[in-house]
Each structure stands twice: as C-alpha cells, then as structure tokens.
Amino acid sequence: MTLPINPPFPPMEAELVDEIPEGKKWQYEPKWDGFRCLVFRDGEQVKLQSKSGQPLERYFPEILDAFRQLKASKFIIDGEIAIPIEGKFSFDDLLQRIHPAQSRVLKLARETPAVFIAFDLLMEADGTLLTGQPLRLRRKRLERFARAQFQRGGSIRLSPVTTDASVAKRWFSRVGPDLDGIVAKQIDFPYASGKRAMQKVKRARTADCVVGGFRYAEKAKVVGSLLLGLYNDAGQLDHVGFCSGLTAAERKRLVVQLEDLIEPPGFTGRAPGGLSRWSTKRSMEWEPLRTQLVVEVSYDHFTGGRFRHGTRLLRWRPDKAPSQCRMDQIETTGAGSLALLAA
C-alpha cells in the first residue's frame, strides 16, 4: 500500500471513567458491542485491521466486499464491526467468525452478515491525511464522505454523535444493556494513535454468584481464581465465569478455607474446563467446592450463558443463600442498540 499510514497502525484508545464527562469540548458516541476495525483502501487493495493490529479480512468477507464497492478508491476509516440479530448486536455471533475453517466463515457471512459502523475518517478520498486535524473537522469530513459513499440501510453505517450530554445519557439509559457504553471525545483534539485520548463509560452491573470451585495459581499452592456459578431454571448450577485479581494475602488466606470445602461435583450443570481450541491442560484443572460460599462481583457483559471477561470481586455475601444466586438476576436486554443507527 502507498498510503501515508499503513497497517498495522495503532488506533486511538479510551480510558475507562466512572461518569460521562460534560462540557462544550466533548462529543459523545455510542460504544458499540463489536470488534474495533481500521479500514485502509488503496485502489483494489482493502485491509481490515483489528485493534491489536491483526488482519480481519478472512473473517469478514462481506465487509471487505462492501468497501471494495464504494466509489472512492482511497481512504482510511476507523470504526466497529458488529453483527445485528433481531434488532440487537450479538457478540456471540461475532466470536463465531474467528474460526479456522474458511467454509464456515463464508457460511456465517451469508447467514448472519456483519455491518461496519464508521466513526472517524483518517484519510479523505483525495489522499488528504486528517489525523492531525481536530475531531470537529474530521467528523464533518466523515459525514460528507458518508453522504457520497454509503448506501442507506447498507452494510456500512455512520455512527450517530451528539455534543449534548443529556442526549448521551438518554442513549445510555434507553438502550440499556444492549449498548456497551458511551465514548466521549474532545472535539478540538487530533487523532492520537495508540494513546488513551478518549474516555469511555460502561454500565455498572453486579451479580451474586456461588463459588462452585477454584483453580490453583500456576506457580504456587495458592488460589489463582474463583469459579463462579448461577442456578439455571432446572435448578442446576452452571459455571458462568471466573474471578481473579485477588491480593497475595487473600490468595494465601483463601487456599486454607477453600481446601476444607473441596467436594465434588461443585457444578451440577455446565462445568468449567471443557475442551476447546483455546484450552490447555492447566486451564482444564479445577477443584470442586461444596456450594455454600457466595460472592458479589461486577461484570461488563454477559453473553452465551457466561461473563465475557473475568469479573471483579466486590465482597463476600455470607448473608446470601446460594439458592438465591439464579440466572434471572442477570440484566435482560433493552431496546436494542441497533435502533440508534436509524436515529
């Protein structure tokens, strides 16, 4: 590629904050529940780059085709790849694309096509590099580019924005758990590649979980992580994720307490340690516990019957009965973040 910047190019990132910042210097956008993606086009060459700098072309052939069909033959766009299912975005369906079999990827691309949500323009169609320009100018250029290039209702969409904090807060509350959060960007700032120059606010969610087991740390006989469970509608305890981030003192203290509670089966429904292409012998080893300990944890997302990432331990709940830790406490979906694209 003969562009002024080429992949791998680190995207601008966001710092996690507790509240949506307010003031005239901010622009607000929905935080979409997808894969960050930078798109580079130079003639017939189109590259899709992930946040970590990896190529995404083989996993999203329909997005690749959509950008090849645009009239502009040169541009660089920052955005998000997401998969809409029944008016909402599905991270589970997105994860299925990261699959080694190309035939499987092509089948999913036909059955559950992805969309690309554009939120920044880094290079215009005439080759003008915009990374050094303030966001207010880049947004105007992006809107002009979208009017000329994107088809209404097509697979490439323009992300909505607002400079009104009250509107951003309504987005945050109205869409509910279908939206991953709100991103705030300073309108006078240039594009800061690789730096946390934006702010993001994510929904605060908590759940009370049964500690159904634990794993030892890799290099010491101390607790490495707690394995969390929730009771399903059939009354079985399903493994839903893990909690780590314990202090060294907690790891030592807990191992004595938990070893006294080791007793199978721990989980009576879905158990941890199932074989997958990511698992190792070590990651499949765990100790089952009598189901009598309850913890409250914070989490950012729950999909496919489990916490997407590791959770953060808030406190132990000796006042809570394990039987009260049910799946129905997990937030249900809201109005559907896909609706914001049509707003």
Q: Could you give phi then psi for residue 144, rounded to 5 degrees? A: -65, -40
| Residue whose C-alpha is closest to residue 16's, from 187, 188, 184, 164 | 184
* Strand-pair partners of 169: none
Distance, C-alpha 7 to centroid of its chain: 22
Q: Does the N-terminal peptide bond of residue 10 adopt cis geometry, omega within 30 degrees of 0?
A: no
Burial group, residue 105, by CB count within 10 angstroms (0-12, 13-18, 19+): middle
CA 81 – CA 95 distance, rounded (Å): 11
How are beta strands 84-85 and 181-186 bridged, if at all? Answer: unpaired
How are beta strands 311-316 and 237-244 bridged, if at all? Answer: parallel
Rounded to 5 degrees, what angle do the CA atoms 267, 243, 281 make? 65
The answer to whether 66 touches 116, Cβ cutoff 8 Å, is yes
Q: Which residues of 287-306 are buried (b: 16+ CB within 10 A; e: fewer)?
A: bbbebebbbbbebbbbeebb
How are beta strands 115-123 and 156-158 bridged, if at all? Answer: parallel
Known catalytic residues? 31
CB count within 10 Å of CB 336 equals 17
Q: Could you give phi then psi for residue 327, rounded to 5 degrees? A: -60, -30
The answer to whether 211 touches 42, Cβ cutoff 8 Å, is no
Residue keyed to tokens 């960007």: 185
